[in-house]
Amino acid sequence: MASLKAGFSRRQFRLIQTGFPAIAPAASAAQAGLKDIFDSVRSRVGGVLSKLCRAQRSNSDLDLTTGPIWPAIWQLSWPVFFSMLTLSLSTISDGYVAGRMSAAAQAAVGAGEMVWFLAVLLSSAVSSGMIAIFSRFWGQADYKSAIAVGRQSIKLAVAFGLIEVSLGISLAPAILHAIGLDAELYTSTLTYLRFNLFSLFPYTLIAILSCILRASGNTIIPARTMMIVPVLVTIGDYLLCIHPFHLGLAGIGIAWSLASGVGLTFIGNAVRRDPKLSQCLQLNVEFCSRKYIARILRIGIPTCLGTTLLLLGDAALTLILARCTNASASIAAWSVGCKVEFMIVGVLIPALAQAAQVLVGQNLGAGQPKRAEEIAWKSAAAGVLAASTMALPLLLLARPIAELMSVDAGVVADSIRFLYIAAIAAPFRALSAVLYAAMEGAGYVAWPLAISVATDLGARLPAAWLLTITFGLGPLGCWVSIGSSAILSALLFVALFKRGAWQHNQV
């Protein structure tokens, strides 16, 4: 770097000195000034990075099993909140850029995201099991066992990431055909996926490394990573799709793949610098531990299967929407509504859910089930309050938000109705999400998944078909079924959590 900079300077200033002798002194002064600026910037950036590394190390050493509960919830949730906010901006960017193209392009992004999430499901089999076991060991101060769990999780993530890319590329055409997309929408979605699916491998590793950091109490580095990736995606969306490259839907997919690669580099380097967690990257130690892999997958596989069924339920809902009079507008409205709901309401709910998941796991590991229960209820109460407050913009600003996201009149009308119902259901979705995460942090997954499947598949889909197709309500029928199932799910989760069986679950 120094030789290149020196070579560049010599060539530039030799030209100036020989061709314009009168200004040579000024040029030399400019060179010296630029060098001073460069050194100053390097010094300041180095100082900031040093502070960030110190903050990272201190965050990893937090004791989450003692002291006041509210500060612990806040300390774990606020970094996730800002990272989720940034992530939501990138999904809004995807929808906005696609919406500038056409309603079909916007619907293609929505359908493609569903396939992407189906492909990434294998990582949930690792992440949910790893957090429950890792945080339990960390709460017991059994760091050696926690590191062994993290190491095996990374190995599984590498294998599963490669499988996800292969399955996604090979099965995407069949899935899109099964959904029943028309020829134009099928072609557009496949174009988007051919590039976006390559982001699965780095994203899977980012997810697992983030879980390792969060389970140890460090939410800052995962949050920074999930801020970097969406910012790069948003920039990439503009450069690759609008100006100067005009790549269309392929540009959105490329932006995600490139940004995920940068994010993996950042978080991998952060884990490598952590004095304890860096041992997780020593993959040559104990190549394969059947004991830990079996324990991870015993918790993770039910979660993966349950999430698969839920996403298949979303695919079935897309199939129902595809039977509406204006199918592209209906599917696009669903995509727009989900993105806006996530940005305005959903950004805080995952933050509180992830905080509850880690805190419950660590406190159960420390032998404090009552404290773990109190943490879960307080996190749920905060989620309900936050969702209720943040849902107000959906009620008050539904029309201008929908008009901002699409120029198609049909998409705007259906999006407004979706946002109204989403605002009403938001507090119930928050309650369900936090209690589910708390029980997942305890490794108690079978019954929570049964409730999710029963409400989202057993109740939502028949109601959606009946209201949308049989009674002819169109997309509104699907929106009503989504809101109703969210309320039913929250009531069942409260009843299950109060039983207390999750407190005695062994991982």
DSSP string, 213-263: HHHTT--HHHHHHHHHHHHHHHHHHIIIIISS---THHHHHHHHHHHHHHH
**pLDDT bucket at 462, cuts 50 / 70 / 90:** very high
**pLDDT bucket at 62, cuts 50 / 70 / 90:** low
In a domain, residue 144? The reply is yes
Per-residue model confidence as pLDDT tens digits over 146-171? 999 999 999 999 999 999 999 889 98
* pLDDT score of 126: 86
Per-residue model confidence as pLDDT tens digits over 416-426? 999 999 999 99
Average pLDDT over residues 48-64: 50
Q: Which helix (DSSP H) or strand (DSSP E) does residue 31 occupy? A: helix 24-60
> In total, how many domains does the chain have?
1
Average pLDDT over residues 42-47: 46
* pLDDT score of 349: 87
Is residue 259 over pLDDT 50? yes
* pLDDT score of 206: 95
For residue 471, the number of C-alpha atoms closer than 13 Å in the C-beta half-sphere is 14
Confirm if 347 and 389 have CB atoms less than 8 A apart: no
In a domain, residue 39? The reply is no
DSSP string, 140-155: TT-HHHHHHHHHHHHH
Structural domain boundaries, residue 90:
74-504
Lowest-pLDDT choice from 297-301, 410-414, 467-471: 297-301
Is residue 220 over pLDDT 70? yes
In a domain, residue 419? The reply is yes
In a domain, residue 9? The reply is no
* pLDDT score of 481: 96
In a domain, residue 203? The reply is yes
Intra-chain end-to-end CA distance of the chain, in Å: 51
Q: How far is CA 106 from CA 98, 198, 223, 230, in A?
A: 5, 20, 28, 18
CA-based nearest residue to 465, from 307, 308, 324: 324
Q: How far apart are CA 165 and CA 157, in angstroms?
A: 12
In a domain, residue 132? The reply is yes
Per-residue model confidence as pLDDT tens digits over 474-506? 999 999 999 999 999 999 999 999 999 999 988
Lowest-pLDDT choice from 5-9, 310-314, 470-474: 5-9
Per-residue model confidence as pLDDT tens digits over 380-408? 999 999 999 989 888 899 999 899 888 88
**pLDDT bucket at 287, cuts 50 / 70 / 90:** low
Q: Which residue has the higher pLDDT, 102 or 253?
A: 253
In a domain, residue 271? The reply is yes
* pLDDT score of 38: 39
Lowest-pLDDT choice from 16-20, 203-207, 317-321: 16-20
In a domain, residue 247? The reply is yes
Is residue 325 over pLDDT 60? yes
Q: How far apart are CA 461 and CA 475, in angstroms?
A: 13
